Amino acid sequence: MNTDDIEIRHGMRVRLSVLGKERCPRLKNGNGVILRRNGPSTIRVLFDGRKQPITLHQSYVEIPELARQPGA
């Protein structure tokens, strides 16, 4: 699911996309919460079980609820 056309907001639950898993293989638990936007295409995410947030490109994450919808 491409998140470019979806408004990503503070507090949304996200998970690593296929691209994110490929580019960030050390992130074992790919579920987390968006803390804030850093720029037009970067976000700060606090992944479950981690103490420090990390900065990622928004294409590295997807919104789980939207990924499960048929036709999405």
pLDDT in tens, 56-67: 999 999 998 765
Average pLDDT over residues 32-51: 94
Where does the chain show beta strands of DSSP type E? 13-16, 31-37, 42-47, 54-57, 61-62
The per-residue pLDDT for range 15-27, each reduced to its tens digit, is: 999 999 999 998 8
Average pLDDT over residues 27-54: 92
> Residue 36: in which H helix or E strand, if any?
strand 31-37
Distance (Å, whole) CA 34 – CA 8: 8
Please report the pLDDT score of residue 55 as a whole number.
Answer: 96
Q: Which residue has the higher pLDDT, 29 or 54?
A: 54
Indicate yes or no: pTM above 0.95. no
- Cα–chain center distance at 25: 14
